[in-house]
Structures are given as structure tokens and as C-alpha cells.
Amino acid sequence: MILLAVCVLILGILSMGFVITRMSLARYSSMSWRALMESLQDVDVDGIDALSREYLRPQETVQTLSESEKLRLIGGTSGLARMRHNVDVMMAMASQAEALDPESAAEAGELMRRDANKIKSAIVGQGLGRTIGYGRRRVGSYLAEACAAYILICQRLVGIYERVHSIRAEYLRQATDSRGRRVVEFKASPRGTVDSERERLV
């Protein structure tokens, strides 16, 4: 009976997450690239990067932090919510890049979608572990997996724009740099430096 209740709860959370994601993507799809950039929320990139190394390079790290310490490192549950928000925004940016150059952006875009699903699954997993105790022993690994996927999404998005829109790639690099804060200042390109229509900022 308890197992059935847990399964129903998980399905309910996943369904709600799916609906929220679809609504977010529909809203973001109508936004300009610059508006998407400005909607990115600040996250603790240093903390996210530190936890991602635990997942991506376990042989180089020693798992000494508790679950609560790991969660605090990335800004708590509000930090996770900001990560989730940014992922939806970055997916909308990836879609815009695919429209500019479908051939070169399609594969990276698909990898980003898989990473985004990992983040959402990990957030659900850690939420269940912290609230009802289901999978509680894996909460730390869920957080590390979410952070690793987030870092990969940032890197993949910058890589996509390096191929299709170099100016935007530089803005994205600033927005997702390891200092953990956005220092983006939009400036007009110097006259004569725009090589094509794709290089024009929205």
C-alpha cells in the first residue's frame, strides 16, 4: 500500500513537472534571445561546479559533505529552483540556435535535452528523499548528478553558439562563467565587425 502511494506521488510530481516545463517552453519560445538572457537567474556556479566534479570525476574527489551541506553549497532548494528555471531558458536558447543552423546545432541540442531530463529527474529524486524518505540515501548523488548535467548544458550551449553566432557565444560565456554571477553588459558591435545577419544581436 505504501509502495503504491509512493508510485502515485512520483507520477503526480512527474506529471506536474511535465506540464510546468511545457508551459515554460511555450512562454520562452516567444521571447527574444536578449530577453531570454536577461531572464537567467543567478546561481552559485562555484558550488555547482564543485558538486559536478564529484559526479563527473569521482576518482579526483572525496565525498565528505553531508546531504544538507551539499544542498547549502548550491543555494538550497531555491538554488535548485533557479537551476531548473535556467535550464528551461537555455533550452529555449538552444532551439533558437537550431533555427539558425539546424545541421550543426541539432546533435548538441539533443544532448542538452537529455541532460535537462537528468536534472529534472534528480530534482524529483532529492525532493522525495528529503520529504518522505524515499531514496534518501541517494539524495547526495541526485544533487551531484543535477549539478553535472547543469554544467554540461552550459558548456554545450556555449559550444552551439560558438558555431552559429560567435557574439552571443561570448555573452553566454560571461553569463555562465565560474565566478557564479552574471556580468553581462550588452554593447553594440563595432562598425564593420558584423560578418553576417546571424551575428546581429536581437
pLDDT digit string, tens, across residues 137-181: 666 788 888 999 999 999 999 999 998 888 899 989 988 874 434
pLDDT of residue 193: 41
Q: Is residue 18 part of a domain?
A: no
Provide long-range contacts, Cβ within 8 A and 24+ apart, for 64-68. Answer: 65/140, 66/140, 67/130, 67/139, 67/140, 67/143
Residue 73 lies in domain: 31-183
pLDDT below 50 — which residues of the chain?
3, 6, 9-10, 13-14, 18, 178-202
| Number of domains present in the structure of the chain | 1
pLDDT of residue 21: 54
Q: Is residue 16 part of a domain?
A: no
CA–chain centroid gap for 188, Å, is: 27
- In terms of Cα–Cα distance, which of 109, 9, 181, 202 is closest to 1? 9
pLDDT of residue 143: 86
Q: Is residue 10 part of a domain?
A: no
Q: Is residue 161 part of a domain?
A: yes
Q: How far apart are CA 130 and CA 136, in angstroms?
A: 6
pLDDT of residue 93: 93
- In terms of Cα–Cα distance, which of 26, 199, 1 is closest to 100? 199
Phi, psi of 75 (to 5 degrees): 95, 20
CA angle 69, 43, 72 (to 5 degrees): 10
pLDDT of residue 83: 93
Q: Is residue 171 part of a domain?
A: yes
Sign for the CA dihedral angle at 104, 171, 149, 5 comes to: negative
Q: Is residue 125 part of a domain?
A: yes
- In terms of Cα–Cα distance, which of 76, 48, 66 is closest to 149? 48
